[in-house]
């Protein structure tokens, strides 16, 4: 059955704190693409101190941020949202977390000064700041994208944290160009249940419509048992995708 007319509840977590390199564009892209597919999306912003039952959301988004914001959020996880977010993830709500948000899904983020900022511990991963910042355009290959479109994902990374995944966890994709999780093992990001963590800013979703559709399908399957989406004309998105691939390959910024 094709998804048309269903409500899609999007939660934008900490929009005022976590918004590096246009990460907010992911929420705009999710909403617009959902509309083009004939769904009925709504966006709710949730920030520090706000309590919520996150299981009622279909897609939860958290962007990237620096150490200062990460520390504030770590406290908010401990005091207010930690267990409700964990319940939503275990209930298969879709969660997309970028860079600093991704790091906080794990057990800790160790800063350059050696301070350990505890994460929410939803996913078995940990992050340690290295001496070198990992910066540049990235190309990743992932088998999560369905349909005839490219299996590549493009984005921009800028992090000092090096992330390591626990045994048995799958990365979101394989690095073709760039550093990814740690610059060593060739993995980029993580997929756990319906949670995707990735270092890719950019913003990610406008020029990777296959990833947006992957998230929308997972959300529709969970709530409505619907796994098909109306095909869309992705010419403009594909031109942006290809331009980003060219830039990454020529190391141009
Ligand atoms: N503070 C983190 C790091 O540099 C996250 C930065 C980000 O979200 N871009 O590793």
Distance separating the N- and C-terminal Cα atoms of the chain = 42
Residue span of the structural domain in which 216 resides: 7-249
Q: Containing H/E element for 60?
A: strand 59-62
CA of 158 to the centre of ligand 1 (A): 7
pLDDT, position 3: 80
40 CA → ligand 1 middle, Å: 33
Which residue among the candidates 12, 37, 99, 159 is catalytic per the annotation?
99
Q: Kindly state whether residue 232 falls inside one of the protein's structural domains.
A: yes
Domain-embedded: residue 46: yes
pLDDT of residue 100: 97
Ligand 1 centroid from CA 35, angstroms: 31
Beta carbon of 159 within 6 Å of any ligand 1 atom:
yes
In a domain, 221, yes or no: yes
Q: What is the pLDDT of residue 224?
A: 97
Residue 148 lies in a domain: yes
Let me know if residue 156 belongs to a domain. yes
Cα-to-centroid distance, 219 and ligand 1 (Å): 27
Is 161 near ligand 1, meaning CB less than 6 Å away?
yes
User: How many CB atoms lie under 10 A from the CB of residue 189?
Assistant: 28
- Number of domains composing the chain: 1
Q: What is the DSSP letter of 78?
A: I
Q: What is the pLDDT of residue 43?
A: 98
**11 belongs to the catalytic site:** no
Using an 8 Å Cβ cutoff, are 195 and 13 in contact? Answer: no
Give me the pLDDT at residue 252, please: 63
Q: How far apart are CA 117 and CA 25, in angstroms?
A: 27
Task: Give, using CA atoms, the residue closest to atom 1 of ligand 1.
Answer: 66
The enclosing domain of 124 has a CATH number of: 3.40.50.880
Q: Is residue 143 part of a domain?
A: yes
Is there a domain that residue 53 lies in? yes
Q: Is 65 in the pocket of ligand 1 (CB under 6 A)?
A: yes
Identify whether 159 is a catalytic site residue.
no
* pLDDT tens, per residue, the chain with 253 residues: 788 899 999 999 999 999 999 999 999 999 999 999 999 999 999 999 999 999 999 999 999 999 999 999 999 999 999 999 999 999 999 999 999 999 999 999 999 999 999 999 999 999 999 999 999 999 999 999 988 889 999 999 999 999 999 999 999 999 999 999 999 999 999 999 999 999 999 899 999 999 999 999 999 999 999 989 999 999 999 999 999 999 999 876 5
CB 178 within 8 A of CB 136: yes
Is 153 domain-assigned?
yes
Find, among 173, 177, 166, 141, the residue nearest to 249 by Cα.
177
């Amino acid at each position: 059955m094709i998804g048309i007319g269903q409500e899609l509840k999007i939660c934008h977590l900490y929009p005022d704190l976590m918004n590096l390199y246009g990460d907010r564009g992911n929420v705009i892209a999710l909403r617009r693409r959902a509309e083009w597919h004939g769904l009925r999306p709504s966006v709710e912003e949730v920030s520090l101190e706000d309590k919520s039952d996150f299981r009622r959301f279909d897609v939860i988004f958290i962007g990237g941020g620096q150490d200062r914001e990460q520390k504030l959020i770590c406290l908010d996880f401990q005091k207010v949202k930690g267990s409700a977010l964990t319940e939503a993830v275990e209930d298969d709500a879709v969660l997309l977390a970028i860079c600093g948000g991704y790091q906080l899904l794990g057990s800790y983020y160790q800063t350059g000064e050696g301070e350990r900022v505890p994460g929410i511990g939803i996913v078995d991963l940990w992050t340690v700041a290295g001496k070198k910042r990992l910066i540049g355009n990235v190309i990743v290959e992932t088998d999560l994208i369905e349909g005839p479109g490219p299996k590549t994902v493009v984005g921009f990374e800028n992090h000092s944290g090096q992330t390591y995944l626990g045994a048995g966890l799958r990365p979101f994709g394989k690095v073709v160009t760039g550093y990814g999780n740690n610059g060593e093992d060739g993995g980029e990001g993580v997929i756990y249940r319906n949670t995707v963590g990735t270092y890719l800013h950019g913003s990610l979703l406008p020029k990777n419509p296959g990833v947006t559709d992957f998230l929308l399908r997972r959300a529709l399957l969970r709530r409505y048992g619907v796994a098909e989406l109306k095909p869309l004309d992705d010419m403009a998105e594909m031109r942006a995708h290809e331009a980003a691939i060219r830039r990454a390959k020529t190391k141009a910024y």
